[in-house]
Amino acid sequence: MAKRKTKTSKVPASFPPVQQGLVSPRRNVPSSIARPPYAQTGDPGPSVLPLVRTQDEIKSMRKAGSIAAEVLLYVGEKVRPGITTDNLDQIAHDEIIRLGAYPSPLNYRGFPKSVCTSVNEVVCHGIPDSRQLLDGDIINIDVTVFYEGVHGDTSVTFLVGEVDDYSRQLVQTTRNALTKGMETVHNGSRVCDIGQAIEKYAHSSQLSVVREFIGHGVGPEFHSSLAIPHYFDRRATTELLTGMTFTIEPMLNLGGHSLRMWDDTWTVVTIDGRRSAQFEHTLVVTDDGYEILTQTASGTIPAEYFS
């Protein structure tokens, strides 16, 4: 497919660009908290489990997803100009531990923190550090927890103070794009249907779709072998079956989709400095559709609560 031309001439780049701050030492997890297999070594190993979850696993994933949603609600209330992303990580870490779960990102392939905080042009995997949030920023906070042997993974992009109209539209469109992708999911649908719906909607709003980072199967493994592109890939013909669990987490950009990685080997930013937004849910496929697993026990969905 030819590269889609996007209207970026009037869209402001992030200014000033996000700079790396100081990263504090890794936070401790009490020995009483059950840990995923990679917690000590950092190596999750290859994905070997089947893609369809058992009823007991799905029951536990509802609990893990509920905890992740509760944490995201809690930390989201603390987002404001002047707070550091490291402080947000501390708040999330403490709440995850209080709820009896393990912060899944912590030491996953060596990641040093308990959540990902991706500000402005940072697309994903931002490492919480000493940078203070500024009035007008946007920030994605990605929370994943490990509980009863399974993971629950969710994220929201938040507005910090008074945000420009372009950034507000980006955030709203990305939230809607997640919904568009989810609406295609049911027993017998195909993975490529998700990406086709997201890409069509994003392009109708003149936004680009990140291609290098995609949704993934999730359950007892943080990332299983099931890949969920957020763009149309005719090769992604895997049929979705009742009981499959995975994330949909579109990342949309105001400018182009080209990316680069910082030398920390985690933080990914847009090459053109334009802003990026992301929303994420963990789903389970049902006979007639899907169930959002990353909602609170009372049914509150963080993306809707903060909209």
* Residue type, position 26, single letter: R
Report the C-alpha gap between 245 and 56 in whole angstroms.
Answer: 13
Contacting residues for 117 by C-beta, under 8 A, at least 6 apart: 85, 88, 89, 126, 127, 128, 139, 140, 141, 142
- Count of structural domains within the chain: 1
Would you say residue 20 lies in a domain?
A: no
Comparing C-alpha atoms, which of 117, 125, 124 is closest to residue 90?
117
Q: Is 269 helix (H, G, I), strand (E, B) or coil?
A: strand
Asked whether residue 99 carries a pLDDT value surpassing 80, the answer given is yes
Would you say residue 9 lies in a domain?
A: no
Contacting residues for 129 by C-beta, under 8 A, at least 6 apart: 20, 21, 22, 23, 24, 84, 85, 86
In the predicted model, what is the mean pLDDT of residues 245-269?
97
Would you say residue 46 lies in a domain?
A: no
Q: What does pTM read for this prediction?
A: 0.94
5-19, 82-96, 161-175, 188-202: lowest mean pLDDT where?
Answer: 5-19
pLDDT band at 16 (very low <50, low <70, confident <90, very high): confident
pLDDT given for residue 294 in this prediction: 98
* Residue type, position 107, single letter: N
Would you say residue 123 lies in a domain?
A: yes
> The domain spanning residue 88 has which CATH number?
3.90.230.10
Would you say residue 290 lies in a domain?
A: yes
Contacting residues for 161 by C-beta, under 8 A, at least 6 apart: 80, 81, 134, 135, 136, 137
Report the C-alpha gap between 141 and 122 in whole angstroms.
Answer: 11
Would you say residue 28 lies in a domain?
A: no
Asked whether residue 73 carries a pLDDT value surpassing 90, the answer given is yes
Would you say residue 67 lies in a domain?
A: yes
Would you say residue 22 lies in a domain?
A: no
Q: Which domain holds residue 165?
A: 55-305
pLDDT tens readout for residues 133-160: 999 999 999 999 999 999 999 999 999 9
